[in-house]
Structure 1
């Protein structure tokens, strides 16, 4: 299954700014998989920094995003991934045959208060947990 040349499945999370949703999802998958999944995240129009509210609500879960930074979406990242999860980036994500694509409809946490961002975080955690159960049965 793994396009990365090893036996680990690989997942790419993509949103527009790579500052909130995709960063939270990537951090959860990295944490919950214990390194059994190769995880990337990127944005079609990356922001300058992570959303401070996303960093704060992930810290509540014991996950430190302070060293993470938004990254630009590349064709290579998509090619290297088995599963591509998009979160509102629409048609800007390149599509390659043989890849599994999912679009997660999630509210953008930009400019939202902590309560709203917590709800988005919890939704993401549930989706990542379900995805992980499919990837690593």
Structure 2
């Protein structure tokens, strides 16, 4: 029998990623589930990619996040730290800033993720700059598509200008932060948006149980 990678993989380099993820989740998810999520992650990212050099690496990272979210969604209610999901249209500005700032302020007390209903190709450079100024780097950040797994795993979903495109799952706490879109804005305006989001973050942290 041939041991070559499944032809379902859009890039044969994904076979190594599939094996690595399957080993990590052995006993929880089948290799078929892992491969399906990995392939889907690759295809979703490929839709908006300008350069495909890092697609395999990013697809593995996105699939890993989705598998972790799926595992959390199946866990007993109330276990683990609170999970907060930030959603905006492109996941290149507001939701990236909010996730980075909450991660910085929470110090591990909250699990944070972000996604976009119509993800862009890259994070806005001004957004990365104002976050560096605030003490957090976005060197590993990339716009991610909104998937069912991350919504199902979230305890709190914060929407930021994605309107009716954001899904609603019963039992989740939904917040909407009416923050301006930093896309194409001058750096001074992006700093103001960052500070406004940071103020919302402070309020959110204060509202969480045990904070």
Unaligned runs of 5+ in 1: none
State the alpha-carbon separation in 2 of the partners of residues 116 and 100 from structure 1: 29
Count residues with an aligned counterpart.
Answer: 136
TM-score under structure 1 normalisation?
Answer: 0.95
What residue number does 1:91 align with? Answer: 164
Unaligned runs of 5+ in 2: 1-71
Which of 65, 80, 99 matches 2:138? 65
TM-score under structure 2 normalisation?
Answer: 0.62
What residue number does 1:120 align with? Answer: 193
Give the C-alpha shift of residue 3 in structure 1. 5.4
Give the C-alpha shift of residue 22 in structure 1. 0.3
Residues 6-54 of structure 1: CA deviation (Å, up to 9, x unaligned):
3200000000000010001000111111111010100000000000000
What residue number does 1:22 align with? Answer: 95
2:106 is the counterpart of 1:33: yes
The structure whose Rg is larger is: 2
2:171 is the counterpart of 1:106: no
What residue number does 1:46 align with? Answer: 119
Contact 2:94 2:181 (C-alpha < 8 Å) held by counterparts: yes
State the alpha-carbon separation in 1 of the partners of residues 166 and 153 from structure 2: 14
What residue number does 1:80 align with? Answer: 153
Question: Which aligned runs of 4 or more in structure 1 are off by greater than 4 angstroms?
Answer: none
> Aligned to 1:64, what secondary structure does the other structure show?
coil
